[in-house]
Amino acid sequence: MTAAPRPAGAMIADLSLLRRRRFALLFAGRTISIFGNAFGPIAIAFGVLALPGATAGTLSAVLAGHAVPQLGLMLLGGVIGDRLPRHRVLVAAETLSGCAFAALAAMLLTGWAPLPPLVGAAFVAGAASALLLPALTGVMPELVDADRLRPANALLRLGGSAATIGGIAIAGAAVAVLGPGVALAIDAATYFTAAALLAGLRTRGPTARARRGVWTDLREGFREFTSRQWLWAVVASAAVLNAGTAAAFTVLGPILAAERFGAVAWSVILAGYTAGMLLSVVAILRIRPVRPLRTATFVTPLLAAPLAAMGFGAPVAVTAAAAFCAGAAFNVFSVLWETTLQQRVPAAALARLTSCNYVVALSLKPAGIYLAGHSSTGFGIGPTTVAAGAVLLAAGLAPLASPQVRQLTDDTGGA
């Protein structure tokens, strides 16, 4: 059951969140930081590959240096996010990212870029991401009233989606005109700017509690995670959804594009996906589902739409429309999910549960990418793509088997 569309006045009230100083600082800081997130990988790829003697293996080592700590240190980031004032954790994470990318820029600009320091700088950037993400989810309830969490999350998604599109578009031109080193220096500046903005949040610290060891905090966080059926049911589903989506957009889609319709058409399809992400914010602000997790689960079949379209050889226009629907579904799901976490999880454990969420939800991505490449070779790209879409469809709807997922309502009651 979904509530009736909200009047225009309610949407205007939602947008008025941007006039609140602390939320405006968070919005600006995160938008600038996400711009840097989109900008950085392109500059790193072209910069590393342009180094004397660099190979694809060199780039893979640098990227792995970022990915490993991002996932491996996420649980520790959750503990830190529940122990310290979260705005300070955000500032520290953005500052670390700025330092890491400044070091990469300096190495590329000077020409002194041995592999170990390159990997080390990437490791610091990955660790900063592990520190930032759990605290980011936890800080929102400290800035916004419970009944404004959903529009606040939607507005952050709007800024982030626009920043991603802008970062990708500008990064290529910056690398071509200014060079990868200068581009990475600009990237570093975005993180330092974000840190300066987030320093003004001044959130309260966590509730005082007895000093305990890190392992004790981790065990308690894991118990909180597993004790909520609605939580682990959705996160387990998200692990498969993330793996399938990553396989679609990093392996299967590009292969099909190369075989059937070319790079320009693939760009049109990706543009459809990002347009769906942007425009879906209007729907999120307009509708308030009574049972948010049920609604979030019902939109997940749309994530399989571009895979089905590509696998069955649909025209580019149809595939782009399917990608638009998938992008919209991703944002709707993400906003409803984040809001539910912030409403239903105790503030003292929110960062740790968020870290568990990320670790489980991202755990299958490498396997999904690996299996997609090998399956497309063994079974053919079309059948593999259709099969991946079927897996997404089944995994997306699976949480509906949980009574808690079907029945959880949009309120601030206990878990």
Statement: residue 358 has pLDDT above 60: yes
The answer on 304 and 193 residing in a single domain is: no
Query: What's the confidence (pLDDT) of residue 128?
Result: 96
The answer on 155 and 248 residing in a single domain is: no
How many percent of the chain have pLDDT more than 90? 50
Q: Does residue 272 lie in a domain region?
A: yes
Q: Does residue 111 lie in a domain region?
A: yes
The answer on 235 and 142 residing in a single domain is: no
The answer on 186 and 140 residing in a single domain is: yes
Query: What's the confidence (pLDDT) of residue 205?
Result: 60
Query: What's the confidence (pLDDT) of residue 267?
Result: 78
CB < 8 Å & 24+ apart, contacts of 67-72:
67/126, 68/123, 68/126, 69/123, 69/126, 69/127, 69/129, 69/130, 70/126, 70/127, 70/129, 70/130, 71/130, 71/358, 71/359, 71/362, 71/363, 72/130
Q: Of residues 223 and 7, which shows the higher confidence score?
A: 223
Q: Does residue 35 lie in a domain region?
A: yes
Global pTM reads 0.83
Statement: residue 12 has pLDDT above 80: no
Query: What's the confidence (pLDDT) of residue 7?
Result: 54
Q: Does residue 9 lie in a domain region?
A: no
Query: What's the confidence (pLDDT) of residue 240?
Result: 94
Q: Which of 54-58, 96-100, 403-407 shows the highest mean pLDDT?
A: 96-100
Contacts of 56 (CB under 8 A, 6+ apart): 49
Give CA 60 to chain center in angstroms: 21
Query: What's the confidence (pLDDT) of residue 6?
Result: 54
Q: What angle do CA 65, 74, 106 make, to 5 degrees?
A: 35
Q: Does residue 6 lie in a domain region?
A: no
The answer on 358 and 307 residing in a single domain is: yes
CA distance readout (Å), 205 to 18, 115, 240, 250: 24, 40, 35, 40
Buried b (16+ CB within 10 A) or exposed e, 109-141: beeebebeebbbbbbbbbbbbbbbbbbbbbbbb
Q: Which of 221-225, 283-287, 397-401 shows the highest mean pLDDT?
A: 397-401
Q: Does residue 49 lie in a domain region?
A: yes
Q: Does residue 167 lie in a domain region?
A: yes
The answer on 202 and 233 residing in a single domain is: no
Query: What's the confidence (pLDDT) of residue 337?
Result: 93
Q: Which of 206, 241, 260 is the last residue of a domain?
A: 206
- Please give the Cα distance from 365 to 355 (Å, whole number): 16
- Provide the mean pLDDT of the chain: 87
Considering its fold, how many domains does the chain have in total? 2
* Region 157-166 average pLDDT: 88
The answer on 240 and 197 residing in a single domain is: no
Give 81-132 as a DSSP string.
HHHS-HHHHHHHHHHHHHHHHHHHHHHHHHS---HHHHHHHHHHHHHHHHHH
Statement: residue 289 has pLDDT above 70: yes
Statement: residue 1 has pLDDT above 60: no
Domain that holds residue 304: 220-415
Statement: residue 186 has pLDDT above 90: yes
Q: Does residue 5 lie in a domain region?
A: no
The answer on 150 and 251 residing in a single domain is: no
Q: Provide the residue count of the chain.
A: 415
CATH number at residue 408: 1.20.1250.20
DSSP three-state, residue 2 = strand
Query: What's the confidence (pLDDT) of residue 211?
Result: 59
- Please give the Cα distance from 124 to 110 (Å, whole number): 20
* Region 162-175 average pLDDT: 85
